[in-house]
């Protein structure tokens, strides 16, 4: 699992995840996600490169989104692959963390 | 081609072995040309079932995963020797309400229900035995074009 964190000129932080967000993947990114969530207010988590996510990965996203929201900020998810999208929507995660189809709407959702 | 094919893997319940078992399942999915949704559903159920044992089962647990495929269905059975836990009857949680009120975690059992067609639990084998069944479309076992 790879994690790449990029701060944009528009004040939006992009967290680009790549790989399997399984039990091993969660262990690999949790610390960095906590740092981002604790320090940034506009966060877009790019899921286009994530080919697996179960409840452990969802837990990581929920913890991060709550941390950002507690500071008055917003975290959104961007372009999950179809199976990951189905898992997120089946669980109802999309009702509390917005899922954006493209980066323009993702940036608008956090602004 | 009506005979079922079977695979089985026994292992100590660790993070590394859980990951290795997930890769083993992927290999079966590729070799058997399973539909992508079925392969994903198997992976979701595997992670949730073994994750429960990892988090709540205590130390030095063993598990086995077996897969049986026939033309119409795939059955994945996960056994473990942790304390009794009936995942088929356990409460299911889905997200509702606000992010502020949401307690992280606990969504795994709901995913197992949502991604499988059937869940059966019994006290058998190593202790807990859970069989999740997935209905296979024609594409998994028959590649004949048309209907």
Q: Is residue B146 part of a domain?
A: no
Q: Are B99 and A37 in contact (CB under 8 A)?
A: no
* CATH code, domain carrying A67: 3.30.750.24
How many CA atoms lie within 13 Å of A8's alpha carbon, on the beta-carbon side? 17
Q: How far apart (Å, rounded) are the C-alpha atoms in residues B86 and A62?
A: 26
Domain span at residue B33 reads 5-141
Shortest Cα distance from A101 to chain B (angstroms)? 21
Which one, of A48, A36, A43, lies nearest residue A73 by Cα?
A: A43
Residue A3 backbone phi and psi in degrees, to 5: -135, 130
DSSP state letters, B91-120? PP----S-TTTPPS---HHHHHHHH-SEEE
A41 secondary structure, DSSP code: S
Q: Which pLDDT score is estimated for B142?
A: 45
With cut-offs at 50, 70 and 90, classify the pLDDT of residue B143.
Answer: very low
Taking an 8 Å Cβ-Cβ cutoff, which residues of chain B contact chain A? 15, 18-19, 22, 36-37, 40, 43-44, 47-48, 51, 54, 94-100, 102, 104-108, 110-111, 114-115
- Residue A78: is its pLDDT beyond 70? yes
What ipTM was reported for this prediction?
Answer: 0.89
How many CA atoms lie within 13 Å of A86's alpha carbon, on the beta-carbon side? 13
For chain B, give percent helix, strand, coil, nearest 5. 35, 25, 40
With cut-offs at 50, 70 and 90, classify the pLDDT of residue B92.
Answer: confident
Q: Which pLDDT score is estimated for B146?
A: 37
* CATH code, domain carrying B55: 3.30.565.10
Q: Is residue B147 part of a domain?
A: no
Q: Assess A89–B contact: CB distance below 8 Å, yes or no.
A: no
**Count of domains in chain A?**
1
**Count of domains in chain B?**
1
Shortest Cα distance from A31 to chain B (angstroms)? 16
Q: Is B42 exposed, middle or buried (0-12, 13-18, 19+ CB in 10 A)?
A: buried
Domain span at residue A17 reads 2-110
pLDDT digits 0-9 by tens, A47-68: 999 999 999 999 999 999 999 9
């Amino acid at each position: 699992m790879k994690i790449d964190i990029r701060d944009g000129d528009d004040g939006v932080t992009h967290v680009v995840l790549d790989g399997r967000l399984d039990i091993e993947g969660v262990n690999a990114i949790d610390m960095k996600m906590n740092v981002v969530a604790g320090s940034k207010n506009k966060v877009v988590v790019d899921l286009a490169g994530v080919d697996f996510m179960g409840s452990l990965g969802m837990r990581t996203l929920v913890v991060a989104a709550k941390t950002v929201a507690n500071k008055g900020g917003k975290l959104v998810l961007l372009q999950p692959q179809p199976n990951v999208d189905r898992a997120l929507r089946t669980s109802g995660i999309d009702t509390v963390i917005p899922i954006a189809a493209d980066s323009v709407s993702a940036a608008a959702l956090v602004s | 081609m009506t005979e079922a094919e079977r695979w089985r893997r026994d292992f100590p319940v660790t993070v590394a072995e859980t990951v290795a078992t997930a890769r083993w399942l992927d290999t079966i999915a590729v070799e058997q040309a399973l539909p992508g949704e079925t392969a994903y559903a198997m992976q979701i159920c595997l992670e949730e079932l073994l994750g429960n044992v990892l988090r709540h089962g205590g130390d030095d647990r063993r598990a086995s995963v077996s897969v049986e495929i026939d033309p119409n269905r795939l059955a994945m059975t996960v056994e473990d020797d942790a304390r009794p836990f009936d995942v088929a009857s356990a409460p299911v949680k889905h997200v509702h309400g606000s992010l502020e009120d949401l307690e992280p975690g606990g969504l795994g059992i709901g995913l197992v229900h949502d991604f499988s067609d059937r869940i059966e639990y019994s006290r058998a084998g190593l202790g807990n035995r859970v069989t999740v069944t997935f209905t296979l479309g024609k594409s998994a076992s028959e590649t004949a074009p048309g209907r």
